[in-house]
Amino acid sequence: MRQTMPVRLNAAEETLIAQLKSVGAEADAERISVAGLPTRRVESYHYTDLKMLLKAVPPLAEAANEASAPALRVAGAYQLMIANGVVQSGTTAPAGIIVGSAEGSALSTRDDVLVHLNTALVRNSLTLTLENSVDPVIQIDHRSEGEAAHVADSVKVFVADGASATILETFSGSDAAHVNNHATYMALGKDAVVTHITVDLSGRASSHFATNEYHLADGAKLRTLVIHAGSGLSRTQLFPRYEGAGAHGDITGLNLVSDGQHNDITMDATHAVPHTTSQPLFKSIARGRGKAVVQGRLVVARDAQKTDAKFMHQGLMLSDEAEILSKPELEIYADDVVCGHGSTCGKLDADSLFYLVSRGIPKAEAETMLVRGFLEELVDPIEDEALGEALRSVIDGWLLAAK
């Protein structure tokens, strides 16, 4: 009988095993003991080898004594804060929002190491129930404060039939080597309309992991925007599931990668019923020796006839050393569908740059103008003016950091 050789564990894996055992998650600890963290051999982590990239894991987070100022402010937003994994008291909620808590993580069971870790380590989730349409932007401000810590938190959102809302989640904190594992579960009722934006502004020394799970009922409309602009290592996983006829998703994301950063956006979408649509669009900009990854899989179930789904990733390299990696996938079991995928990657258009420079615009300014134009497609659909300006300030801040 052939025996499987035990996995050689690194320091990060040993720490994770000890932390999982300390909270009674013996099965999850055993799973890492046997298989270790994902490597390139795991298809969904092919370009993000966690065993190689995650060198160390700090101690589990303790309560935060104080919190820094928000990394991103949106005028008029209703703010909630989660510091070091613990929900903090906030101001009175606007009409139509019920704020509560629930035991454990919000995520569904899934064969994924980040999901297993979040499920094991989160004690309580912040819950939001939106009974009707909410006018102000809802901002959930996640902070990792103090010395380097392993932070896990979770948010669960229920949106009632016919309700609409814009939800912004921001991630920041002290400039320490935190390892952050965030989870968001969102269920949209019939004909609900939701915009969900997540922005990572954590320090360069930190690692940012997030899993966003979406369930869309009949006629629900979802727009998402993921922005990676902070952590040295980041990965956001998107799991939209279209469960009602007429459901539609504009799933979008942006990697802003500088020298030494590794940013990954991975989507695994399921069209489970007939007459659903989606248009995933992701963009990556990389400079220096930065590496950006976008993986996107569209699964069309056997009964999901009349599905219309098109995936696109566009990359822009601002240096010869930059890397942009893309892996689109289609897994179609129905026979009456319109599905497709595409991926492009290149440098700034030389003719457009020459045109601007020839009219007296300095080269650096001309390059910035072209990059802004490349990204406007992601920000322009954001209807809230203050939120749109805040997101543009994040992009401008990244662009100016290289000047």
Per-residue pLDDT tens for 47-69?
Answer: 999 999 999 999 999 988 766 67
pLDDT for position 367: 81
The answer to whether residue 81 is domain-embedded is: yes
Q: Considering only CA atoms, which of 229, 235, 237 is closest in space to residue 203?
A: 229
Q: How many domains does the chain have?
A: 1
Determine the average pLDDT of the residues in 298-319.
Answer: 95
Q: How far apart are CA 338 and CA 304, in angstroms?
A: 11
pLDDT for position 402: 66
Instruction: Write the burial class of residue 129 (CB in 10 Å: 0-12 exposed, 13-18 middle, 19+ buried).
Output: middle
The answer to whether residue 240 is domain-embedded is: yes
Give 231's pLDDT tier (boundaries 50, 70, 90): very high
**What percentage of the chain carries pLDDT values higher than 70?**
96
Give 349's pLDDT tier (boundaries 50, 70, 90): confident
Q: Considering only CA atoms, which of 189, 297, 199 is closest in space to residue 239?
A: 297
Q: How far apart are CA 132 and CA 135, in angstroms?
A: 10
pLDDT for position 213: 98
Q: How far apart are CA 171 and CA 174, in angstroms?
A: 11
pLDDT for position 5: 59
Better-scored residue on pLDDT, 327 or 369: 327
The answer to whether residue 51 is domain-embedded is: no
Domain of 214 in residue numbering reads as 74-347
Q: How many CB atoms lie within 10 A of CB 27?
A: 10
Residue for token pair 């993986």: 295
pLDDT for position 157: 98
Give 3's pLDDT tier (boundaries 50, 70, 90): very low
Give 165's pLDDT tier (boundaries 50, 70, 90): very high
The answer to whether residue 299 is domain-embedded is: yes
Better-scored residue on pLDDT, 346 or 196: 196
Give 352's pLDDT tier (boundaries 50, 70, 90): confident
Give 403's pLDDT tier (boundaries 50, 70, 90): low
The secondary structure of residue 13, as a DSSP letter, is: H
Q: Considering only CA atoms, which of 151, 72, 76, 152 is closest in space to residue 118?
A: 152
pLDDT at 1 over 60: no
pLDDT at 11 over 50: yes
Give every CB contact of residue 184 below 8 A, 6+ residues apart in sequence.
106, 154, 155, 156, 157, 169, 196, 198, 210, 211, 212, 213
Better-scored residue on pLDDT, 239 or 95: 239
Give every CB contact of residue 89 below 8 A, 6+ residues apart in sequence.
none
Give every CB contact of residue 134 below 8 A, 6+ residues apart in sequence.
78, 94, 96, 97, 163, 164, 165, 166
pLDDT for position 2: 46
> pTM for the full model?
0.94
pLDDT for position 58: 97
Q: How far apart are CA 190 and CA 290, in angstroms?
A: 41
The answer to whether residue 194 is domain-embedded is: yes
CA-based max dimension of the chain: 75
Return the minimum-mean-pLDDT range out of 62-66, 82-86, 132-136, 167-171. Answer: 62-66
pLDDT for position 47: 96
pLDDT for position 364: 78
Determine the average pLDDT of the residues in 344-364.
Answer: 83
Phi/psi at 191 (nearest 5 deg)? 65, 15
Q: Considering only CA atoms, which of 277, 354, 292 is closest in space to residue 325?
A: 292
Q: How would you label 221-245 residue by residue, b for 16+ Cβ within 10 Å and e otherwise? A: bbbbbbbbbbbbbbbbbbbbbbbbe
The answer to whether residue 359 is domain-embedded is: no
Supply the mean pLDDT for the chain: 93
Q: Considering only CA atoms, which of 321, 218, 224, 229 is closest in space to residue 272?
A: 218
User: What 3-state class would DSSP assign to 388?
Assistant: helix
Question: Which amino acid, one-letter code, is at 122?
Answer: V
Q: Which two tokens stand for residue 95?
A: 């009409």
pLDDT at 150 over 50: yes
> Pairing mode, if any, of strands 207-216 and 233-242?
parallel
The answer to whether residue 343 is domain-embedded is: yes
Q: Which two tokens stand for residue 166?
A: 């814009």
Better-scored residue on pLDDT, 111 or 368: 111
The answer to whether residue 385 is domain-embedded is: no
